[in-house]
Copies of this chain bind each other. A is one copy, B any other.
């Protein structure tokens, strides 16, 4: 592939994507009164509240997977982008692009999932768009959702200080693992963790300093983004990171670092040292039995992974990662 073309790694959620996106962002000079344009969503002060605006495209293949489908994923992902900023979603859009010849029955199932989740969350899909591309010009289906939400207090990525604690709400990489298992036809019990984290953010309202949903590029990418933005060092203790045996096995076979594998229903939370115990107890009791502290913030920069015998830099993933995983 020639040098002056877009590569798969540009879509993988790590350093090359950051470069491409920040290139695009820098070309887009005019942001008006909006802030947070490099976070999960942008926000605008409107009266005594903030309006939050976000979008994501979902290109996942296969579009059906253990634990959901691309429709559930598209609602979940955009709701989660609003939720980790502390916002209550008030509406979503739904744009679908379908390959000619796509099975109507599959589309119905996908729309059913969108509908079920929209009703359950009481977040309406208010408008949308449908396009069809000729056979061979698109593989399957693409969904884009945009979402708006409101909040009195924005949770910003950079609101992190030394001594803060890093909590993950459950096992990492279940989504990525389940997709890979489906794609390579491995027999596993892995189920995608795809779920809205809105209830988690509501439960912990006021106690979260910073939050991310570690999708593309996994927790490795999110931690690097947080350390960069907040200008701090984050040290993660490998032994504490919850991961399923089967996810680890798939990663071993395929040579993928599970720390770069997508979650679609976990929240990576930064809390102050003082709130750590209370937050963990609440999480474990109410919603996330596997929630655990995996790291600590200190002065400095970069992300450090403490393994059994050493401390290494956990870099922003730079390779191609896993294409079309979310």
Residues of A within 8 A of B (CB): 1-2, 4-12, 17, 20-21, 24-25, 27-32, 34, 37, 41-42, 44, 47, 51, 53-57, 59, 61, 90-91, 93-105, 107-108, 111-112, 114-115, 118-119, 122, 124-134, 136-139, 142, 144, 146, 148, 323-324
Contact = CB atoms under 8 A, between A and B. Distances in A.
* Most chain B CB neighbours (cut-off 10 Å) among A42, A124, A136: A124
6 contacts: A7-B132, A12-B132, A27-B108, A28-B124, A53-B126, A57-B142
A130 B10 contact: yes
A56 B102 contact: no
Chain A interface mostly helix, strand, loop or mixed? mixed
A324 B100 contact: no
Contacts of A108: 27
A133 B139 contact: yes
Nearest to A37: B126
Contacts of A93: 53-55, 146
Given A37-B126, A57-B131, A133-B11, A101 B6 contact: yes
Given A29-B119, A30-B119, 9 more contacts: A2-B101, A5-B100, A9-B132, A20-B130, A24-B94, A55-B95, A55-B146, A133-B323, A134-B323
Contacts of A144: 55, 57, 95, 129, 144, 146
A103 B4 contact: yes
A44 B97 CA distance: 26
B91 A127 contact: no
Contacts of A34: 91, 124, 126
A97 B8 CA distance: 11
A10 B137 CA distance: 16
A114 B26 CA distance: 12
